[in-house]
Amino acid sequence: MAGATNASGAVEAASYKTVFASLEDFSKGGVELINDDPRHYAFSNMYEVASISKPWEQVAVGKNMQYVLEVVRAEGQSGWRTASHDQFAVSLDGEVEIEFFTHGAPVDESVEGSVALAADPDGQRMGRVVLNFGHQALLPANSAYRMTASRPSVVMIQTIAGADTKFRWAEICQTV
């Protein structure tokens, strides 16, 4: 934690306040830039992104090479999805249940990101996880998963960008 030096030369600890947000109560937020151009940064509020997204839409809010952080507005029941790589889901608001099944055919390794299944998985039930605020779950490679939320909720998924990843930087990023 950084601090300021007082008149006697002692370092005083800085004071920070953590503010928790939700889909129903968030502030836009922003980045304070000093001698730099805001176009060098991508900054958006995950709750704001979820508030203007369609249910189960995967909107990228962060990107590092091929990896992305997607924000998903969880509302109702999603379709079944799978990926050739592990993914990671974190509940940022609300309660989300994730059901897991084995998936008969492995996903083509050349396909990046998660993909929708055309039908219910033909494998065996692996179990379920219920995520509340701050809870996280692994979405294992080549398994099928489906999410359910009884009220609008927010999930962040760490994954590889795929065909269903929406890039809306011009709409969601701070530019001034």
Looking at residue 1, what is its pLDDT?
A: 43
Pairing of strands 136-139, 96-102: unpaired
User: Is residue 26 classed as helix, strand or coil in its secondary structure?
Assistant: coil
What whole-number percentage of the chain has pLDDT above 70?
78
Across 17-31, 33-47, 134-148, least confident range:
33-47
Question: What pLDDT does 33 receive?
Answer: 61
Average pLDDT, the chain: 86
26 Cβ neighbours under 8 A, 6+ residues apart = 45, 47, 48, 51
Q: What is the pLDDT of residues 27-58, one digit of tens each?
A: 766 666 666 665 555 555 888 899 999 999 99
pTM: 0.78
The residue ranking higher by pLDDT, 149 or 8, is: 149
Among the listed ranges 21-25, 29-33, 158-162, which one has the minimum average pLDDT value? 29-33
Mean pLDDT of all residues in 145-167 = 97
The separation between CA 176 and the C-alpha centre of its own chain, rounded to angstroms, equals 24
Relative to beta strand 165-166, strand 58-64 is: parallel
Local confidence band at 163 (pLDDT 50, 70, 90 cut-offs): very high
**Predicted confidence (pLDDT) per residue in 92-132, tens digit:** 999 999 999 998 777 888 889 999 999 999 899 999 999 99
Architecture of domain 31-172: Sandwich (2.60)
Check residue 40 and give its pLDDT: 55
Let me know: does 124 contact 41? Beta carbons within 8 Å.
no
So where are the chain's domains? 31-172
